[in-house]
Structure 1
């Protein structure tokens, strides 16, 4: 009811404005003479048709949707609509007058159109100015309003500022804008001044008493985003970001897309591009088995592979809770997916054989593994049982049951390993490379570094320590690691699988290595604290088997480029299956007899393995 009353009121106001516009048009055209010899007949003709002309114009303004807008938020777009609506309404009046053979000077019609736009527009904009002034009077008393610095004076920044103004419930107010374009300095965007470039961020934050920073440059390269985030993290402001356009499905930026800045935004790499056609060729319509399918990497493999319409997806995991979670998620996301969850251990050869015999998988992604370095140092037998003989079980079954392609998920820790976990993953690589020599199955491995946010990675640990008030512990000031996001790593794993011919170890481009202590400090800043002031960063010393830095390549492997700029191929350096089988038989005996020198024997199988004492 209130809306109808408001529309009726606006129509009444416009009816008055339309006639004021005609009176002013006559006044201008005839120098204020309404009853003169020339002006009198024309003005009387207007008076005789006043009601009809007014109804035509107001009716057309209604048809053009002028009364559906919220004029409290009027902007350039609404003014443009007034111009179009007024032009249409005046054109209809001209048509009526011509049809009725009534003649008015053309200048009257032109002046009436111009004055319509001015008068109707001024009323709308005036209402907006009044509404905003009224709001600001109340907002000035509201101490809960967050003062926001927007980085980016482009379209995204303008939309964010507009939405902050239009949504009172956000309780945020844009007070300044940052942009690296010098030509914009001193200008305003939606009434908010552009005060400097990224190098002025801290100065403007202090001067304007900023509470929150929103980075609104979704098309900027990741490198630029990283530099800006690092600069912003030196302030104590909460930090949010509009994601890259590739993350926003429809490409349109809205306040709903703004999210907290994550540590992933500091990696500074562009989004991975995959060849969807190649991937579809080897996954679509196939039975795909993912071991360790409930884990961090395995579950993401499940999500992404499900999008390629496999004939059947098999999720194998020993831990039923994780498997249950990803099962429910996939059922919601892909209701048409033929999905089977298999609870089994890769150590159980008979159970693995049964699964291969019943389901006959065509593509296998082997992600099941023990991966926690310190735990495996204390439990080397378990690392060997799972990572070596579990891999052997799955790989030999793939060979025996005619699997088309087998992809092993490996790690940079397999290169010149200094811990038993890395050594076992190197043996797993040797297994698939040597089996490939005699098998029709295309066996390949994909080697990459740490995955941000995966189970057991440093980021969840750091977040927990920050939440508890510190200290945040790092093992050494010089420790560096390669990092990828989970989706990024999995996309490249799937892409590498499409390139497989058999025997390759694919090495993923991990970008530049990152200092763990820098990662810790940046995460503390992103959480709104100052390192070593609010939250202590404590160096606790290297753990058993831990390196200062990781490598992605053995010296003799070399690297060959592929058609994908982030994927390389390492040359195979071990293919002697019979020798490996003899060594593994001895290793199996040592396991059964629970020999304490089992690590030492691993150095015989993996000559590059260096045992480091705690």
Structure 2
């Protein structure tokens, strides 16, 4: 037994026998099959009397079988991967070997006088063929089964969350694949009626508190989440925390749409989860037909086209085949990436990538004059709170004045709709960046009303969209945490109670497009951002997912202008629903256009003094609800 174990370990550590080893085993089987044929043909007594003569004949048969094995390359395949094709080749080789042996026997009998070798008759040849074929097949099936048994220790034990089509399809992929990467241990179901059920011979466990510990007792190392259970899994934060804390790896699809429900689902469709995959979010549904009708065949201009939101807007708008895309950003290298993306993915869409600042009025006017955009999506802005807190003059010139330049040109050149992308930080702003975006909202809304009232000549409808943090955007917290984890920590969190709303960039852009289609002008659309996430919990979960040990979380205190929580509406505002339950219209205080324009003129002039206090003081006059937090500008609120 010890010798067998050593040989097995040697074989499985090598991964495969050498070709000569397989040929040697096959020849031994052919020799043994010859003995079986001889025994059944001659009987026990004659077999014993002519043993050595029969042995000589069977050796000749074995050599002829070796020739047949060479003809069909039966020994060149890896035994553990034997298939029906391999078994067919083995059968043909056995047949050819037996036929050659039978012909040699006939020749021997015809020559006569050769008594040292006794070859097989027709009966003996048939017995030899059947025996050899069966044993060669058994050899390959046995090695394959033995390999699976010995390799199971290296396969990761898994449980599958989901017992419907998706879960069963995953299980079948594990059970039928040649490469034993995983071994199925259990299923997990939310249905209490499955408490005594077995699927494919594996027990179904009911999902309840302590399920991760139950899976640990089953030696489970990986949880595979069926795509049909992805949304339920994300919503069950307690379950996620259990598995993360238990050290069980989680694999899932980002969205159920990645599997069409018709093709075979395998574990290769799944990937190890990132923190983004675990944040609770609902499926975003938009009216694709309405968006397509608005944009197809139209001239579209996008500012900030190289940014996180802007570049995604480019991709989503290009899908609808606009007549022309005019893309503007002042960041040269990211803009080059956008140009390459358009060339690779949307070569059939006419587009122009332009490097320039939205504050350059003369250049922007030339662009509007040349391209006459029918729709403008305005995503360009300085957005980082600490940077703008230190540079209020730049926040005014880029965010406030830049928006005014693009808005005024849109009116002048007959743009049908202007969609401005704002932020939740514009609600009861506590920092320069948020206040600058609120001033942009005020200008666009008041300009829209002036057009409606006939005080400004134009046809442009101004629509504003507000939402919170987007996952994966430049400078967002998740990439920063990932980098800090790679460096071994510590993870810096400003406050233990700070919370934020998160949304995926593609989801946010879909809502922007739909808000643009439903907006009639003057609305500020607010997106339902789902459930807020505590940043310290996010940090802890990312540390657990990384598998890193002893990474510290350090609280650094709120940064200048930072809130503990972001608001999507001010206390003086309310909302009315739209046909999309994820989009609402905020009812906000209205401003007179002439007053808004006068305020912006004064604010722009003050920005050229670079007197931070004077700039922020004027901003607070324009937006009275702007109250600074953790900032040098707090003195202005007294």
Alpha-carbon distance in 1 for matches of 2:176, 2:184:
11
> Residue 542 of structure 1 is aligned with which of 558, 564, 586?
558
Over aligned residue pairs, what C-alpha RMSD do you find?
Answer: 2.6
Per the alignment, do residues 456 and 493 of structure 1 end up closer, same or farther by CA in structure 2, a change over 3 Å counting?
same
Alpha-carbon distance in 2 for matches of 1:469, 1:494:
40
> Residue 468 of structure 2 is aligned with which of 449, 454, 457?
449
Aligned residue in 2 for 1:562: 578
Per the alignment, do residues 167 and 329 of structure 1 end up closer, same or farther by CA in structure 2, a change over 3 Å counting?
farther
Q: Deviations over 1:540-577 (max 9, x none)?
A: 11001001111111233321111111111112422311
Deviation, structure 1 residue 512: 1.9
Aligned residue in 2 for 1:103: none
Alpha-carbon distance in 2 for matches of 1:170, 1:388:
60
> Residue 170 of structure 2 is aligned with which of 147, 150, 160?
160
Aligned residue in 2 for 1:333: 345
Matches within 5 A, 1:408-423: 408-423=420-435
- Runs of 5+ consecutive residues of structure 2 not aligned to the other structure: 1-81, 86-134, 452-458, 632-638
SS of the equivalent of 1:418 reads coil
Q: Deviations over 1:189-237 (max 9, x none)?
A: 3343334435343223332333222112425544665434333222212
Deviation, structure 1 residue 174: 2.0
Alpha-carbon distance in 2 for matches of 1:442, 1:251:
44
The answer to whether the aligner puts 1:607 opposite 2:627 as a matched pair is: no
Alpha-carbon distance in 2 for matches of 1:130, 1:182:
40
Per the alignment, do residues 170 and 341 of structure 1 end up closer, same or farther by CA in structure 2, a change over 3 Å counting?
farther
Alpha-carbon distance in 1 for matches of 2:552, 2:224:
27
The answer to whether the aligner puts 1:433 opposite 2:445 as a matched pair is: yes
The answer to whether the aligner puts 1:582 opposite 2:601 as a matched pair is: no
Per the alignment, do residues 374 and 168 of structure 1 end up closer, same or farther by CA in structure 2, a change over 3 Å counting?
farther
Which moves more between the two structures, 432-441 or 560-569? 432-441
Deviation, structure 1 residue 185: 3.5
Deviation, structure 1 residue 515: 1.1
The answer to whether the aligner puts 1:500 opposite 2:519 as a matched pair is: yes
Matches within 5 A, 1:87-166: 130=142, 133-140=145-152, 144-166=154-176
Q: Deviations over 1:23-62 (max 9, x none)?
A: xxxxxxxxxxxxxxxxxxxxxxxxxxxxxxxxxxxxxxxx
Alpha-carbon distance in 2 for matches of 1:356, 1:226:
49
Alpha-carbon distance in 1 for matches of 2:365, 2:182:
60
Is the CA contact 2:151–2:180 (under 8 Å) kept in the aligned structure 1? no
Matches within 5 A, 1:456-475: 456-475=475-494
Q: Deviations over 1:143-169 (max 9, x none)?
A: 542222222222222222222233344
> Residue 200 of structure 2 is aligned with which of 190, 197, 208?
190
> Residue 501 of structure 2 is aligned with which of 445, 469, 482?
482
Is the CA contact 2:304–2:329 (under 8 Å) kept in the aligned structure 1? yes
SS of the equivalent of 2:525 reads strand
Q: Deviations over 1:67-87 (max 9, x none)?
A: xx9569xxxxxxxxxxxxxxx
> Residue 238 of structure 1 is aligned with which of 239, 245, 249?
249
Aligned residue in 1 for 2:399: 387
Is the CA contact 1:177–1:195 (under 8 Å) kept in the aligned structure 2? yes
Deviation, structure 1 residue 268: 2.4
Per the alignment, do residues 436 and 349 of structure 1 end up closer, same or farther by CA in structure 2, a change over 3 Å counting?
same
> Residue 206 of structure 1 is aligned with which of 216, 231, 237?
216
Alpha-carbon distance in 1 for matches of 2:504, 2:609:
41
Is the CA contact 1:219–1:244 (under 8 Å) kept in the aligned structure 2? no
Is the CA contact 1:225–1:265 (under 8 Å) kept in the aligned structure 2? no
Is the CA contact 1:450–1:482 (under 8 Å) kept in the aligned structure 2? yes
SS of the equivalent of 1:586 reads helix
Deviation, structure 1 residue 336: 1.2
Larger radius of gyration: 2
Which moves more between the two structures, 596-605 or 194-203? 194-203
SS of the equivalent of 2:245 reads coil
Alpha-carbon distance in 1 for matches of 2:240, 2:520:
41
Per the alignment, do residues 175 and 129 of structure 1 end up closer, same or farther by CA in structure 2, a change over 3 Å counting?
farther
Deviation, structure 1 residue 405: 0.2
Per the alignment, do residues 196 and 222 of structure 1 end up closer, same or farther by CA in structure 2, a change over 3 Å counting?
closer
Alpha-carbon distance in 2 for matches of 1:206, 1:250:
30
Is the CA contact 2:162–2:229 (under 8 Å) kept in the aligned structure 1? no
SS of the equivalent of 2:425 reads helix
Deviation, structure 1 residue 465: 1.1
* Matched length: 493
Q: Deviations over 1:268-296 (max 9, x none)?
A: 23211111121112111111111001111
SS of the equivalent of 1:328 reads helix
Per the alignment, do residues 434 and 522 of structure 1 end up closer, same or farther by CA in structure 2, a change over 3 Å counting?
same
Aligned residue in 2 for 1:176: 186
Q: Deviations over 1:373-413 (max 9, x none)?
A: 01111111111111101111111111111100000000000
SS of the equivalent of 1:535 reads coil
The answer to whether the aligner puts 1:352 opposite 2:368 as a matched pair is: no
Alpha-carbon distance in 2 for matches of 1:320, 1:309:
25
Alpha-carbon distance in 2 for matches of 1:499, 1:298:
20
Deviation, structure 1 residue 297: 0.5
Alpha-carbon distance in 1 for matches of 2:322, 2:570:
35
Matches within 5 A, 1:499-538: 499-529=518-548, 534-538=550-554
SS of the equivalent of 1:199 reads coil
Aligned residue in 1 for 2:418: 406
SS of the equivalent of 2:444 reads helix
Deviation, structure 1 residue 508: 0.5
Per the alignment, do residues 577 and 345 of structure 1 end up closer, same or farther by CA in structure 2, a change over 3 Å counting?
same
Is the CA contact 1:238–1:527 (under 8 Å) kept in the aligned structure 2? no
